Homo-oligomer: A and B are copies of this chain.
Amino acid sequence: MVRVAIIGASGYTGAESIRILLRHAEAKVTYLTALPEECGAMQEIFPEFRGRCELPVEPLDLKKLAASADVALCCLPHRVSMQFVPELLRAGVKVIDFSADYRLKNVKVYEQYYKTTHTDTANLAKAAYGLPELFRKQIQKTNLVANPGCFPTCSMLALAPLLREGLVETNSIIVNSVTGVSGGGKNPTAKFHFPYMDENLYPYGIGVHRHMPEIEQIATEVAGSPVRVLFQPHAGPFDRGMLSTVYCRPKADVNNERLLSLYADFYKGEHFVQVCQTAPAVRDVTGTNYCHVFPTFVKGTVVVFSVIDNLTKGASGQAIQNMNILFGLRETMGLE
């Protein structure tokens, strides 16, 4: 039985991780922490856990954590994670980190987008990017997984087959995404106040969203040469899930048959990526760890539609998938 600590249990990804672990046959939550002002009984922070999770949420005590957990899910904000991760690793605890602190290999890019100095470049070098469908082997060998961002997960599962195959031009890719509001976290803000967000839809992060360099880094790694992506996110009036509509210019002749067979081959044996032959919908994956992807050829352009649940495949579900890999468990465990 894998013993799991959750650091940052009072937020949405912490709660989603607990939901999944409650159904996991070979893992269990043993320790929950949060900022001191957000501590208390888990079932008071999220009443849905009444009778299901009796653990208290406590201020982080590293010794206690190390004694009670084999792995820590670090559901912390950017910049905060790297203050804790080195000690966790030293204490022999494996870490799956939800922040961006160990995702961007180029420290300069990290520091530019996250406006801070990176303080743990040693571990950054060792971290595996936790998108199992693309980097499973690296994940198997690491103690530190950088759990991917939701948009990069959704976008890269759409783009990877095209880039690996060299089928599309790499300087004019457009990723147009719409995300549910849970991606913005639990703190109330004017932009996500119900009477504002309800019946609304709007773009944000125009030209500056932090997932853009993350997408470009992974795209470049998959393509083997520099890839440039124009990523434009929007927020929509729903809680969970996201859709990416990806537009690419093909280098050569393409047709739907070839696209479908390329994607089917690429994702053969991948349980959590389903290649569809019709348009997917956000609801098809809500509450699941699945990505539904549909590539098609329209008016000279390759268009790929990709949907995931931002809190599951885009965060906590993928983290548990990574955890299963780290501990040699069946990869789908707890995620059925």
Give A contacts to B, CB under 8 Å: 12, 22-23, 25, 47-48, 50-52, 172, 174, 176, 178, 180-182, 184, 186-190, 192-204, 206-207, 228, 230, 232, 234, 236-241, 243, 245, 247, 249, 271-272, 274, 276, 279-288, 290, 292, 296, 298-301, 303, 305, 336
A176 — which chain B residues lie within 8 A by C-beta?
176, 245, 247
- Max chain B CB contacts within 10 Å: which of A174, A285, A296? A174
Question: Secondary structure of the A side of the interface?
Answer: loop
Neighbouring B residues of A207 by C-beta, 8 Å: 296, 298-299
Contact B200 A281, beta carbon cutoff 8 Å: yes
Interface pair B48/A288, CB less than 8 Å apart: yes
Q: A50-B284, A192-B194 known; 8 other A-B pairs, CB under 8 Å? A: A23-B23, A48-B288, A50-B292, A200-B241, A201-B238, A202-B283, A204-B279, A236-B236
Q: Is the CB of B236 within 8 A of A47?
A: no
Instruction: Report whether A206 and B279 are in contact in the complex, using a CB–CB cutoff of 8 Å.
Output: yes
Q: How many copies does the complex hold?
A: 4
* Known A203-B245, A279-B203, A290-B51; contact A228-B299, beta-carbon cutoff 8 A: yes
- With most chain B CB atoms within 10 A of its CB, the pick from A22, A197, A296 is A197
- A-B interface, 4 closest residue pairs, ranked by CB to CB distance from nearest: A202-B281, A188-B188, A188-B193, A207-B298
A52 CB to nearest chain B CB (Å) = 7
Q: How far is the CB of A248 from chain B (nearest CB, A)?
A: 11
Verify A247–B230 contact, CB threshold 8 A.
yes
CA distance A241 to B50 in the complex (A): 17
By a CB distance below 8 angstroms, the chain B residues around A271 are 51
Known contacts: A188-B193, A234-B243, A284-B48. The answer to whether A178 contacts B201 by CB under 8 A is yes
**Hey, which chain B residues are within 8 Å of A236, CB to CB?**
178, 201, 236-238
Report B-chain residues with C-beta under 8 Å of the C-beta of A48: 283-286, 288, 290
Q: Tell me the minimal C-beta distance from A247 to chain B in angstroms.
A: 5
Q: Which residues on B sit within 8 Å (CB–CB) of A290?
A: 48, 50-52
> Nearest chain B CB to A321's CB is how many angstroms away?
14
A199 near B282 with CB under 8 A, answer yes
